[in-house]
Amino acid sequence: MTKRAIRYLVLGVAAATAIATSVTLAATPDAAAVVEQGQGQAQRSAQGNANGQGPQLVCGTRDLDDATADAVEDYTRRILQKSPSGFLTSSRVIPVFVHVIHSANGSGGVVTSQQINAQMSVLNEAFAGSSFSFTLAGVTNTNNDAWYTAGPNTNAERQMKTALRQGGSNTLNIYSNNMGGGLLGWATFPSSYASKPLMDGVVILYSSLPGGSAAPYNQGDTGTHEVGHWMGLYHTFQGGCANPKKNGSGDFVSDTAAERSPAFGCPVGRDTCTGARFPGLDPIENFMDYTDDSCMDRFSAGQYARMDAQWTAYR
C-alpha cells in the first residue's frame, strides 16, 4: 500500500471515529513555548506552521555530545570489522509493544486500535527499503496523570517505562502520551541500551498517530522519526554545516546533504549549507528532519546502512 493510500485510509478512520475522539480533539497541546532540548540549540518561540495549521512542534531526543558520538562510531567500526559491508545478511522482524497512556480519568490520550494499526502500516511503509519490518506484539492501556504528561528525563518517564517495558534489545516499545513542552516525542539510541535497558524505546504524542489532532504532524511520521532515532539515526541537521570533509561529522550519513538548522513546513528548494563543500539541497523530505508529515517521505541508502550497522553493534 502506498503512503498516499494509507493516508486516505487514515482520513476514513478519523471520520469514522470523530465522535469517539471528540474529547481527544479538545486536548490538543496548546501553543506554549517550543523548546528544543538539544545541546546548543536556541529556544524557539511557538509560531504558526508554514501552512498556518498550528504551532511548530519538535523532537525532544537529545543529540549525543561529540565525545559520545565519536565513541559510538569507534565501537561500531570495531564490531563491523567482522562483517565489513555493514549490511545485515537477513531481514529482521521487530516485535512492537504499544503502551497507550491516558489521563487518570481515562478521557485524555485516547488512541483507537485503528490508529495503532495505521501507525504500524506507516512504519512498515517508511522502513520498506530497509532490513527491518515491524509486527504488533501487544497493546497496553494505562490511566495515570503523571505518566500522561511525562517528558524526557523525568521520574515519571522512568516509572512509566520501568513498569511497562517488554522484551529485550530487539523489541520496540512505543509509549503514547501528552508530554507537552512543544514536543512531538523522543527516543533512545541503540548505544544507550546496554547501560539503560529499561529506558529503551520511543515516546510519541498521542495525537500524532495517524488520524490524530496534531496536524500537520498527524500522519504517523513522528513515529517514523522517533523509530529512526531508535535505529541509530540522528537529525539531518545535527552538526549544521560544520566539518563537511571530516568523515563522521554531522549526522554520520554521507548521502544526506548537510543543513544548518531544522526545516519546518515543506520549504522546497531550501539550501542552508551552500558552496562547493555542501552540494545538494537540504534533505527536507527526509524523515529525520522536522518538516510536516506530508513533506517527509524517505530515508536514504546511507541511513539504511547506518541502521544495519547500529543494529549489528548494539541490538
Instruction: Count CB-CB contacts under 10 A for residue 60.
Output: 22
Please select the residue that binds Ca ion; options are 46, 278, 285, 297, rule is CB under 5 A. 278
**Least distance in angstroms from the C-beta of 299 to Ca ion:** 12
H-run or E-run covering 87: none
Q: Does 273 bind Ca ion (CB under 5 A)?
A: yes
* Part in contact with Ca ion (CB under 5 A); list of ranges 70-78, 139-147, 164-172, 266-274: 266-274
Residue 61 site contact among Zn ion, Ca ion, none (CB < 5 to 8 Å, cut-off depends on kind):
Zn ion
Q: Does 253 bind Ca ion (CB under 5 A)?
A: yes
Residue 87 site contact among Zn ion, Ca ion, none (CB < 5 to 8 Å, cut-off depends on kind):
none
Residue 251 site contact among Ca ion, Zn ion, none (CB < 5 to 8 Å, cut-off depends on kind):
Ca ion
Q: Which of 99, 136, 126, 96 is nearest to 7 (CA)?
A: 126
Which residues neighbour 15 within 8 Å (Cβ) at sequence distance 6 or greater?
none
Residue 271 site contact among Zn ion, Ca ion, none (CB < 5 to 8 Å, cut-off depends on kind):
Ca ion
Q: Residue 61 or residue 112: which is nearer to Zn ion going by CB? A: 61
Q: Residue 19 or residue 276: which is nearer to Ca ion going by CB? A: 276
Q: Residue 14 or residue 126: which is nearer to Zn ion going by CB? A: 126
**Least distance in angstroms from the C-beta of 256 to Ca ion:** 4
Q: Does 250 bind Ca ion (CB under 5 A)?
A: yes
Q: Does 271 bind Ca ion (CB under 5 A)?
A: yes
**Least distance in angstroms from the C-beta of 229 to Zn ion:** 5
Choice among 36, 157, 226, 259 that is catalytic: 226
**Least distance in angstroms from the C-beta of 281 to Ca ion:** 6
Helix locations, the chain, DSSP H: 3-16, 22-26, 66-80, 113-126, 145-148, 155-164, 221-230, 301-314
Q: Are 83 and 312 in contact (CB under 8 A)?
A: yes
Sign of CA dihedral 63, 66, 72, 73: positive
Enumerate the β-bridge partners of residue 55.
48
Residues that bind Zn ion (CB under 5 A): 59, 61
Q: Which of 233, 222, 230 is nearest to 255 (CA)?
A: 233
Enumerate the β-bridge partners of residue 102.
143
Looking at beta carbons, which residue is closest to Zn ion?
59
Residue 253 site contact among Ca ion, Zn ion, none (CB < 5 to 8 Å, cut-off depends on kind):
Ca ion
Radius of gyration of the chain (CA): 18
* Part in contact with Ca ion (CB under 5 A); list of ranges 105-113, 123-131, 136-144, 247-255: 247-255
Task: Clarify whether 226 is annotated catalytic.
Answer: yes
Which residues neighbour 22 within 8 Å (Cβ) at sequence distance 6 or greater?
none
Sign of CA dihedral 207, 211, 213, 219: positive
Residues classed as catalytic: 226
